[in-house]
């Protein structure tokens, strides 16, 4: 499926949800006096949808892939921080919320990995998404198909002439 805007992409929407949930959890008083912990997980979460958006807007497949991997890395960072939080006594009463954040960030990582794989493994139509190499390969396929169609038409014409004789 082709999306016209990054706002339509399901994984971007999940990234927004992750960010909102992280900001909600970090409002809890347990985060006060814990250094930069709240800020770090907030920045990592916000980086997920922002990198998806930036890669989408860049216009080339290699750049999109690069930013999808940045977003995937940020989702992993959120998950890693959640593992730390689970092991800290002041956050024991937030286990359910932390587990939900881990689950959502894991799901986002899977979606991003799948998207990146599909971009790497498929011939994407449209010059906005093609690299020079894939443009050349795509054009060669189009030229070969046109030649085959022309040969079939000539063969059909020849066969029709033979039948009429």
3-state secondary structure of 130: coil
Reported as type and span, the H/E element at residue 93 is: none
Average pLDDT of span 72-91: 97
- Residue 68 burial class via C-beta count within 10 angstroms: exposed 0-12, middle 13-18, buried 19 and up: buried
Share of the chain above pLDDT 70, in %: 88
Model pLDDT for residues 13-25, shown as the tens digit of each residue: 999 999 999 999 9
Q: Domain 6-126 adopts which CATH fold? A: de novo design (two linked rop proteins) (1.20.1440)
- Of residues 52 and 2, which shows the higher confidence score? 52
pTM: 0.74
DSSP conformation class of 165: -
Give, in degrees to the nearest 5, the angle at Cα 21 between 48 and 84: 80
- Of residues 149 and 8, which shows the higher confidence score? 8
* HSE toward the beta carbon, residue 70, CA cutoff 13 A: 18
- Of residues 150 and 26, which shows the higher confidence score? 26
Quickly state the pLDDT bin for 125 (edges 50, 70, 90).
very low
- State residue 59's pLDDT score: 77
């Amino acid at each position: 499926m082709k999306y016209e805007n990054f706002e339509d992409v399901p994984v971007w929407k999940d990234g927004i949800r992750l960010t909102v949930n992280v900001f909600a959890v970090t409002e809890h008083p347990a985060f006060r006096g814990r250094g930069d912990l709240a800020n770090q997980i907030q920045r990592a979460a916000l980086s997920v949808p922002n990198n998806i958006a930036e890669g989408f807007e860049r216009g080339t497949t290699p750049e999109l892939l690069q930013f999808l991997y940045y977003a995937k890395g940020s989702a992993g960072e959120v998950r890693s921080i959640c593992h730390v939080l689970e092991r800290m006594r002041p956050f024991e009463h937030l286990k359910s919320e932390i587990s939900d954040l881990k689950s959502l960030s894991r799901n986002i990582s899977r979606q991003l990995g799948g998207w990146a794989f599909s971009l790497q493994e498929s011939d994407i139509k449209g010059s906005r998404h093609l690299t020079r190499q894939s443009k050349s390969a795509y054009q060669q396929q189009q030229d070969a198909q046109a030649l085959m169609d022309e040969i079939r038409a000539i063969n059909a014409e020849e066969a029709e002439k033979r039948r009429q004789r």
